Amino acid sequence: MTAQDGSTTSAITNEQGIACFCLNPCVPYRIYETMAPYGYQIDCNPIDVFIDCCGRIYLNGCCTCNAYVVVHNRPIEERFCFTIRKVDGQTGIGLPNATFDLLLGEQVIATVTSGQNGNLTFRGLLPGSYHLLESSPPPGYQSNPTLYEVVITNTGEVSINGHPAQGYEISNIQCFHLSFQKVAVTSGD
């Protein structure tokens, strides 16, 4: 909310979707949504609010008895996807059977395993900020503990750790196992 003098105040909706502001009479205000709930489009229509000295409330120039304003958000209908490639850290060859989890906050919203060419595609995603984590490395490779930040804009542009997702590769290093056998030595050996 912005007052005529340029001062601003913010409020976040609670579990019931209600945000409250304390307004002074005879001061014009403009209320606008700066961030929509996850999965919804932002309402770009500002609401002009004015309370006269008698307590009458004006919303966008019309007098109303209601001090309760309803803002409608439409669900985002367009969903997006992105593809990354899992590769050998030395040869650049695509690696199958690497499993990644895509997280929204603490919640895993998608799990994908790389195919023969190493590609992993995450589909049906809304704009927002996610994290990508390898949950299982390809057989014979060390685990990659890096937590990657994935950002999807409202126009569907996807970045991973600040780089375009198109052509993004995540590598693993091969691990080698060495076995030892303990044997008893006898006096004749």
**Residue 131 CB neighbours (<10 A):** 15
Architecture of domain 1-76: Sandwich (2.60)
pLDDT digits (tens, 9 = 90+) for 94-142: 999 999 999 999 999 999 999 999 999 999 898 899 999 999 999 999 9
Extract long-range pairs of 141-145: CB within 8 Å, 24+ residues apart.
141/88, 141/95, 141/98, 141/172, 141/173, 141/174, 141/175, 142/172, 142/173, 142/174, 142/175, 143/172, 144/170, 144/171, 144/172
pLDDT digits (tens, 9 = 90+) for 131-180: 999 999 999 999 999 999 999 998 889 999 999 999 999 999 887 666 67
Buried b (16+ CB within 10 A) or exposed e, 6-28: eeeeeeeeeeeeeeeeebeeeee
Helix (H, G, I), strand (E, B) or coil at 80: strand
Q: Residue 111 phi/psi, 5° resolution?
A: -130, 125
Q: What is the mean pLDDT of the chain?
A: 88
Residue 148 and residue 85: Cα distance in Å, rounded?
A: 14
Domains 1-76 and 80-172 share a fold: yes
Q: Parse the chain into domains and list their residue ranges.
A: 1-76, 80-172
| CATH number of the domain located at residue range(s) 80-172 in this protein | 2.60.40.10
87 neighbors 169 (Cβ within 8 angstroms): yes
Residue 86 and residue 94: Cα distance in Å, rounded?
A: 6
